[in-house]
Amino acid sequence: MRSLRGKLLLSFGILIILAVIISAVNLVSISSLNNNTENLLSETLPQLLNDENISPENAQQIAAESENVIAYGQRSMAISLILAIGSLAGGLLLALGSVRAITRPLKEVAARMKEMAAGHVQNEPLHTTSNDEVGQLVLAVNEINSQLVSIFYDINGVSKKVEEESASLHQQSDRVQQETGQVAAMMQQMSAGAEEQAQSAATLTEMFGKFVEDISIAAMSGEEVKQGASDMVSLTDEGEREMKQSVDQMNTIYQNMTNALEKVKGLDDRMKDITELVSIIRQVAEQTNLLALNAAIEAARAGEHGRGFAIVADEVRKLAEQVAQSIIGINDIIASVQQESAEAVVTLESGYELVSKGSSQITGTGEKFSEMKKRISQVSTNITAISDSLYVVMDHTVKVNQSISNIAAVSQESAAGIEEAAASVQETNRSVDAISHIAAQLDQHSSELGDHIERFQAGSSRKVGLNIEEPEEV
């Protein structure tokens, strides 16, 4: 089998031989043309020179031109020969350079591919300054080498992880196998417990039915209590309004008693003033009586001339006596009025104290009534809330009863489901056995994969010494 270099050299050699043959044909053609030209000139030139119709000057000119043609043909043949030899040499040099430029990178690529096939992927990248297909091939090989290092590194890591996970899976499968046995035993216990739960749920459903009836009765009683509390609040509101009116009336009476007491006390003071005035009037009457008596004595002494004066004095005396008698009556009346006024003051003071106490008591009663109204309103609100809560509890209880019924049904279904689950656990146990066997095989295969990866010497670092970028031209 021929190499690529030999094939390229053979191709370029054939092209050069074709070029040489073409050049040789051209040289032969030019040589034949020159020979034919010389023969033609050697035959025709003497005839032209001996022709009488041609002047000697023209004949010489024709001879000179013929020699020039022959010389030009010889020069052309020499130039063609030189060009043929130069083309041959240039073609050989170009062929050798082209073959070298193509085969050298290809040899490096082939050597690198052999190293990679042998497992040596930790290599320096191949250098190239060409952007043609050969350069792209070199860059592609560098990229392949880099990707192989990355792939081998990843595969090695995955292989180790798979080996670890397979070992862990094997251990877990053994543990799961043990636990599934325990789960199977627990399933049997749960099946028995589910049956007991179903029976308990049925009993609880019956008990909750009675509880719902009791709650319903309590709700209706709560509605009656709610209505009674509402009526009590209405009565309390009415009583509070009447109590406020009583407080207002008692305050008015208290104020009137206060005013009456003040007026009676003022009347007693005025009566004392009147008593003092009466005392003064009595003293004046006594003095008047004495003066009238003295005037009568003086009139008696005067005789007939003092009779008129005696009459006046007697009238004044009588008037003084009447005033004295009136003063005695007035004193009696004043004494009686003062006594009654004093008794009225005592009575009013006693009534004032009673009204004051009654006002304080009725005010306190009003405050207590207001507080009682607040308490009753709060009690009514609480009773309403309790009544509403009883209805809510009744609704929830009905729902709970339904839920318990559902739980009873679910418990029965759970008992059947647990039996099926126990069968599934046994099936799972068999599956775990199969998984354990597969995990053991996976552990073995991962170990074999690790052995194959170690053959490629991927090492512990990724892309060491790899650079897929195009190198700079030197």
Q: Return the residue matching tokens 């003084």.
A: 320
How far is C-alpha 314 from the chain's CA centre?
125
Classify burial at 438, counting beta carbons within 10 Å of its beta carbon; exposed 0-12, middle 13-18, buried 19 or more.
middle
Query: Could you give the count of Cα atoms lying within 13 Å of 310 in the half-sphere of its Cβ?
Result: 12
**Whole-angstrom Cα distance, residue 180 to residue 14?**
82
DSSP string, 266-293: HHHHHHHHHHHHHHHHHHHHHHHHHHHH
Yes or no: say if 124 and 141 are a contact pair by the CB < 8 Å rule: no
SS3 of residue 165 by DSSP: helix
In this predicted structure, what is the pLDDT of residue 208? 65
Exposure string over 172-203, b if 16+ CB within 10 A, otherwise e: bbeebbeebeebbeebeebbebbeebbeebbe
Here the tokens at position 189 are 């216990």
Low-confidence ranges of the chain (pLDDT < 50): 1-2, 458-474
Exposure string over 239-271, b if 16+ CB within 10 A, otherwise e: ebeebeebbeebeeebeebeeebeebeebbeeb
Yes or no: say if 348 and 260 are a contact pair by the CB < 8 Å rule: yes
**Whole-angstrom Cα distance, residue 64 to residue 41?**
11
Yes or no: say if 170 and 443 are a contact pair by the CB < 8 Å rule: yes
Q: Where are the domains of the chain?
A: 4-107, 198-429
Which residues lie closer than 8 Å to 429 by C-beta, 6 or more apart?
Answer: 177, 180, 181, 184
State the pTM of this model.
Answer: 0.30
How far is C-alpha 44 from the chain's CA centre?
117
CA distances from 143 to 104, 111, 150, 316 (A): 19, 16, 10, 165
Residues comprising the chain, all counted: 474
Class of domain 198-429: mainly alpha
Please work out, in degrees rounded to the nearest 5, the angle formed at the alpha carbon of residue 104 by the alpha carbons of 464 and 141. Answer: 35
Sign of the alpha-carbon torsion through 353, 355, 356, 360:
positive
Here the tokens at position 77 are 């043949």
Classify burial at 236, counting beta carbons within 10 Å of its beta carbon; exposed 0-12, middle 13-18, buried 19 or more.
buried
Query: What DSSP designation does 306 have?
Result: G
